Structure 1
Amino acid sequence: MLSLHYTIKAALTCAFIALFVPAAHADFASSQRWFNGMAEEDRSLLQSQLILLGHYEALADSAFGNFTYRAIQEFQNSIGDAPTGVLTPRQKGLLEDAASGLYHDLGFDIVEDARGMMAMLLPKSLLSSVSETRRGTAYTSADGSIRLETIRKPFAEESYESLYQTLSSTSAGRSINYQVLNADKFVVSGTRAGKLFYILINRTPGESAGFSVEWERSRNELGAMVATFMASYSYPLAYAPPGDGSVSSTDVPNTAPEPEATPPDTRRSSGTGFFVAERGVLVTNHHVIDGCSAIDVVGYGPARVVTSDKVVDLAVLQLQAAKTHAVAEIRAEPAQLGESVVALGFPLADILNSSLNVGTGIVSSDTGFFGAETRFTTNVGIQPGNSGGPILDEYGRILGVAVSKIDDEALLAAMGTTAPNVGFAIKGEVLAEYLSLFRLPAPSPAPDEPLNVRELAEKGRNFTVQVMCNAEQATGVAPVADRGATISVSSPQLPDGYRWAVFASARDIGNLPNLSSVLAPHSTRVVLSENGNYGLVAGPFTEETAERLLAEWKRNPLVPSDAYLSSGRRFIGFVGGL
C-alpha cells in the first residue's frame, strides 16, 4: 500500500524531465491534453506539488478538471508568467524546486499510526509534538496553532453513520461549511471555537478510522494545505496489502458480530457497467448492485460501492485493485429525437455466454415511461443484463444509461399486446449531474466524422464491462403484499432528540419525487407508514440540525412546502428490494 507513498516521496525529492513541449498559449482543452499525456503517477505528482504550494485544493487523484486547470494557471501567475494552463520545462522545474524545498522543510515522512490505524505522509518537522489520545495519536505544531489527530472508533461503540451525524452536527461555536457522506468515507469541515477544522473518516472492517486537522485562522494557508495533502496521502491500515511493512486486514481486531452458523441463501445476477474515470471508477444501475454481498467486474476483479441512489437508479463502483482501462466520455448535449444510438451490454448472460452484445436504434421519445423527464425511450432491444450499460451516440459518447424495458407479460395481460422494442435509458445529463461530485474529464467537441457501428462497438468494448452480483438473501425480511417490496428489520423509529425530514407521501412508491440532487450530499430513504403509504425521508438528524436543514431545503422550489420533521413513530420499516 505504501509503495505509492514512497514513490511520491522520492519523486518530490528529485526533479524529472518534461516530456512535452507546450505551445505558447493554451485553453482548457489544450491544458487537458497536455496533462493527460503524462503518466498517471506524474499527474498525481504534479497535483501534489501544486497542493504543497497552496494552489490546488482537491485530492491528488491524477484526474484533470477545473481545479487542476486553475491551479496550474495560478502557479504560472505567481511566477509572473502567462497563465496558459500548460507548463514549460522551466516552469515545471521551478514548481518542482519550490515544492521539494517545502516538502523537506516540513519534514514529510511516512508514519504508520497503529493507535489510529492510519498510514500517512506526515509533516513531522511541523507537527513535532506527539501524544497519545483516547482514540489515536495527536501531532501538534510547536506553537500549538495546528493539530492533527488520528481517530479510531469501533462500530460496537458507534456506527459509521452515527459517527457522521455526530461529527457533522452544529452547536454554539461550531458550524459546518462542507460535508459529504459516501459508502466508504465521509468528510466534514467547518469552524469550531474560532478555529478551522477538516475531518476525514474511512469505513473499515469493524470500525471507523481517519483523522482530523484543526488550525488557527492565522495559519489558514498552511493548515488547509496540510489537510488537503493528508487527505490525498493517508490510508487505513486495515486496507493495506500485506508484504509492504503495513498491517494487513487480517491483523485488525474484528469487532463485527460473528456470522450466522447457517449459510445464507445466495443468488447470482448480472448487469452492465462502464468506466467513467481512471483508477477503476465505473457506473451501473443501483438495482444491479442492490443487496449484493460481493460484486465482481468480469475481467477486472472485485469492486466496492462508492455511492448509489435508488431513486435515480445509479451507482458508482470502484475496482479494489486498479487496472488500466479506457474511460467513457459523457456527452454534454441532451439526446435529440430520432438520432441514432448504439447500446452495449451483456444481456441474458445465462444463454448468451457473457459475450458483449451490440444493438442499434434511435431515440424514439425524449421522455421515459409515463413521460418521465429524467429518461428517454429507445427502440434498441434492452433485455435483462443490459441494465447499467452505455447508450452511445454516433461519436461514441455516453448519451444515456440503459435501465429498463416494458414488461411484455404485464402489458399483454393488461392491454392484449406487447412492445418488444421499447426500452428506457437514464439521460446523460442526469448521469452527469449525479457524477458532479467527481472530477471527470471535461467533454470534448464531437469529431468531424461519425463512427460506423463496428467502430462504435470497438470503442465501447474498451470501457464496457459485465457486473456480477452475489446476493445473500437476508433473514427476517418479509414481503409487503402486492407491492413487490420488502421491509428491513431495522426500525426507523428514532430515539428522543433525533428526527427524519419527510418530503412526500404516496400510495404508489413510483409517485415519490426524485430529490437526490436537491438534498445531496444527504441520501434519501423510503419508509412504509402504518396507513400503507410510502414516505420519502432524509436523515436521521439531531433536532437542531434537522430544523436548520429543512428550513434551507424549503427555500428550493423543488422541495414540497409541506415537508415536515418526524420521530418515525408511525413508520413500520424501510423499503428495499424494489
Structure 2
Amino acid sequence: MKQSPVTARLHRAAILGFAALAALGAAACPSAARAQLPPAPTPVPGSLLDRPRPAPAPQASPGDPAGTGAPQARAARRIAFGTAFRVGDAGHLVTNRHVVDGCTAIGIVAGNKATGNLRLVAADRKHDLALLAGAPGPSGAVLRADDDPVQGEDVLVYGYPLPGMLSASGQLGAGMVTALTGIRNDPDQLQIDAPLQQGNSGGPLLDRRGQVIGVVFAKLNALRVAQLTGDLPQNVNFAVRLAPLKRLLEANDVRYELGPADGPALSNQEVAARARDWTVPIACQRQPG
C-alpha cells in the first residue's frame, strides 16, 4: 500500500527514534575493553533532598538463577566517580567529601583504569569538601581573590559526568549564578543553573576569567521534589562558595594562586583549555557492602 507523504515522514521519524535509542543503549553498556572499570553507579547524594536509598534485593535471571547479582553490578556499587581539580604545585587536589568518603583506594581515571594512589589529607564534612594529595602536575587552578559573586554573573563548570556513557575528554557547561545562598538558604553555598550530572561532583565553578569561585557538589532531586510539590524544578544546582575552600587549603598549609580582579574575560574555548590542564576524573573504590 502506498503511504501518504505525512505517513512516510512519521514512519521515518519512528525509525530514527528507535535507532537513537539503540545507540544510547549501546553507549551505556561498557565494552570488554573497559571491563576493568564498572559502569557509572547511582550518584552519591550531595543534596538534602537527594538521600541514598538502599540497594534493591538481587533478582533472579536466566544467567543468574540464584539471584546473587552479576559481578559487574556488585562492582558498580563499590565504585564512585567524581571530578577533582589541582591546586598549588605540590600535587594537591580538591573534590567533594561525598565522592571520597569511605574509600579504600582513590585514583585518577585514565582510559579504562584508575591509576595513581591518591591520599586523603583532610575533609570538611560541613561543606562537603575534601583535600587529596599525590597528583603533581604542571599547573593548578587559579582562585578568585574575593569571595563576592554577583547574582546573574556568568559561570562555567568543567568536569567528567556520566563516565562510560558520555565523552571521557572532559565537558564544559555554562550558566549563571541564580542565587547567592544555597540549600535552605545556606550562606556558604551558591545556586547555579549550569547543568550538572553524575560525575560532576567536585569539579570547579569558574568565572569568565577562568578563575575558580566554588566547587560544584549537588543538584536538586527533581523527581522527588515533584512528588512533594506537584511541580518539576529545572536547573536547580549548587556549589560550595570559595571562602570554605580557602579555609580548608590554609588549614593544611596548601599554597594557592589568586587571580587578578581586573583580568580579561576569556572565551568559552579559553576557559575550557585552562580547566582541562588541571581538572581530572577520579574513581573511589569502597569495600563491598
Same fold (TM over 0.5): yes
Does structure 1 residue 421 correspond to structure 2 residue 232? no
Task: Say which of 125, 132, 147 aligns to 1:310.
Answer: 125
**Aligned-partner Cα distance in 2 for 1:355–1:317:** 22
State the secondary structure of the residue aligned to 2:137: coil
Give the match for residue 343 of structure 1: 157
Q: Which amino acid aligns with 1:360?
A: A
By how many angstroms is 1:340 displaced?
Answer: 0.6
**Aligned-partner Cα distance in 2 for 1:312–1:440:** 20
**Aligned-partner Cα distance in 2 for 1:372–1:293:** 31
Does structure 1 residue 368 correspond to structure 2 residue 182? yes
**Aligned-partner Cα distance in 2 for 1:401–1:293:** 23
By how many angstroms is 1:473 displaced?
Answer: 3.1
**Contact 1:266/1:472 (CA < 8 Å) preserved in 2?**
no
Q: Which amino acid aligns with 1:396?
A: G
What are the Cα deviations for residues 267-287 of structure 1, in whole angstroms up to 9, with x where unaligned? 112000100122310000000
Give the match for residue 28 of structure 1: none
Task: Say which of 453, 458, 462 aligns to 2:273.
Answer: 458
State the secondary structure of the residue aligned to 1:354: coil
Shift in CA distance, 449/310, structure 1 to aligned 2, threshold 3 Å: same
By how many angstroms is 1:354 displaced?
Answer: 2.8
What are the Cα deviations for residues 125-171 of structure 1, in whole angstroms up to 9, with x where unaligned? xxxxxxxxxxxxxxxxxxxxxxxxxxxxxxxxxxxxxxxxxxxxxxx
**Contact 2:145/2:260 (CA < 8 Å) preserved in 1?**
no
By how many angstroms is 1:266 displaced?
Answer: 6.1
Map 1:37-186; keep pairs closer than 5 Å: none
**Contact 1:286/1:313 (CA < 8 Å) preserved in 2?**
yes
Give the match for residue 195 of structure 2: 381
Does structure 1 residue 469 correspond to structure 2 residue 276? no
**Contact 2:155/2:207 (CA < 8 Å) preserved in 1?**
yes
Structure 1: gaps spanning 5 or more residues: 1-262, 475-578
Higher RCO structure, 1 or 2 (CA under 8 Å, sep 6+): 2
Does structure 1 residue 358 correspond to structure 2 residue 177? no
Structure 2: gaps spanning 5 or more residues: 1-73
**Aligned-partner Cα distance in 1 for 2:128–2:243:** 14
Does structure 1 residue 278 correspond to structure 2 residue 89? yes
**Contact 2:88/2:257 (CA < 8 Å) preserved in 1?**
no
**Aligned-partner Cα distance in 2 for 1:296–1:442:** 25
**Aligned-partner Cα distance in 1 for 2:254–2:160:** 28
**Aligned-partner Cα distance in 2 for 1:467–1:265:** 15
Give the match for residue 219 of structure 2: 405
By how many angstroms is 1:441 displaced?
Answer: 3.2
Runs of 4+ in 1 over 3 A off after TM superposition: 263-266
State the secondary structure of the residue aligned to 1:271: strand
**Aligned-partner Cα distance in 2 for 1:293–1:286:** 14
Q: Which amino acid aligns with 2:286?
A: A
State the secondary structure of the residue aligned to 1:410: helix
Q: Which has the higher strand share?
A: 1
State the secondary structure of the residue aligned to 2:202: coil
**Contact 1:332/1:429 (CA < 8 Å) preserved in 2?**
no
**Contact 1:347/1:357 (CA < 8 Å) preserved in 2?**
yes
Shift in CA distance, 295/442, structure 1 to aligned 2, threshold 3 Å: closer
Q: Which amino acid aligns with 1:454?
A: Q
**Aligned-partner Cα distance in 2 for 1:264–1:393:** 37
**Aligned-partner Cα distance in 1 for 2:248–2:230:** 38
Give the match for residue 510 of structure 1: none
By how many angstroms is 1:308 displaced?
Answer: 1.0
State the secondary structure of the residue aligned to 1:431: helix
Identity, % of aligned positions: 34
By how many angstroms is 1:384 displaced?
Answer: 1.3
Does structure 1 residue 327 correspond to structure 2 residue 140? yes
By how many angstroms is 1:289 displaced?
Answer: 0.3
TM-score (norm 2): 0.68
Q: Which amino acid aligns with 1:342?
A: L
**Aligned-partner Cα distance in 2 for 1:281–1:406:** 29
Shift in CA distance, 303/430, structure 1 to aligned 2, threshold 3 Å: same
**Contact 2:137/2:278 (CA < 8 Å) preserved in 1?**
no
Task: Say which of 248, 264, 272 aligns to 1:434.
Answer: 248
TM-score (norm 1): 0.35
**Aligned-partner Cα distance in 1 for 2:238–2:225:** 16
Tell me how large the CA RMSD over aligned residues is. Answer: 2.0
